[in-house]
Amino acid sequence: MEIYVSGSRSSRRGEPEYFTGSVWREEIITAPAPARVRSGFARFEPRARTAWHTHPLGQTLCVLSGVGRVQSWGEKAREVRAGDVIWIPPGEKHWHGASPNHTMVYIATQEDLDGVHVRWMEHVSEAQYLSPISL
């Protein structure tokens, strides 16, 4: 068993090639083999978001605070709030981030497959981000 004391892991800025706006990330766990789970906190300032991406074995988001948006390719964006849990199936192209006027914090959990846990794609355009949402 290992215990990671609160505050013992550094926050890091979301890389600009994968994120738009100000995003801070902190690792929760990258479990050693044979486990495949990876989990982390992400803190998004208003309008901040991921680029489009997929996960080979899917992803679960648990919104801890704030108001955000999630969108799968070809569908309307959806508004999400603290307490919401989002399951994104394997291979589904999607993005997620904060709403225009609120921050959002979530825990993201996914497994890797052959060492890959995410495949990054193009950035979400302003038009895509500001398109009408489903509540």
Confidence of residue 2 (pLDDT cuts 50, 70, 90): confident
CA quadruple 119, 121, 124, 128: dihedral sign = negative
Residue 117 covered by a domain:
yes
pLDDT for the residue 66:
98
The one-letter amino acid code at 32 reads P
Residue 12 covered by a domain:
no
Residue 38 covered by a domain:
yes
Residue 104 tokens read as 């959002």
Residue 135 has pLDDT above 80, yes or no: no
Look up the pTM and report it. 0.94
Residue 34 covered by a domain:
yes
Residue 134 covered by a domain:
no
CATH code assigned at 121? 2.60.120.10
Residue 7 covered by a domain:
no
Residue 106 covered by a domain:
yes
Ramachandran angles phi, psi of 50, nearest 5°: -80, 170
Structure confidence by residue, pLDDT tens digits, 14-68: 999 999 999 999 999 999 989 999 999 999 999 999 999 999 999 999 999 999 9
Give the residue numbers spanning the domain of 113.
Answer: 22-128
Residue 121 covered by a domain:
yes
Confidence of residue 6 (pLDDT cuts 50, 70, 90): confident
Structure confidence by residue, pLDDT tens digits, 90-111: 999 999 999 999 999 999 999 9
DSSP code per residue over the chain: -----TT-S--EEPPTTTEES-EEEEEEEEPPTT--EEEEEEEE-TT-EEPSEE-TT-EEEEEEEEEEEEEETTS-EEEEETT-EEEE-TT--EEEEE-TT--EEEEEEEE-BTTB--EE-PPPPHHHHTS-EE-
The tally of domains found in the chain comes to 1
pLDDT for the residue 75:
96
Confidence of residue 4 (pLDDT cuts 50, 70, 90): confident
Task: Tell me which residue of 20, 134, 21, 44 sits closest to 80, measured CA to CA.
Answer: 134
Task: Tell me which residue of 106, 119, 96, 102 sits closest to 26, measured CA to CA.
Answer: 106
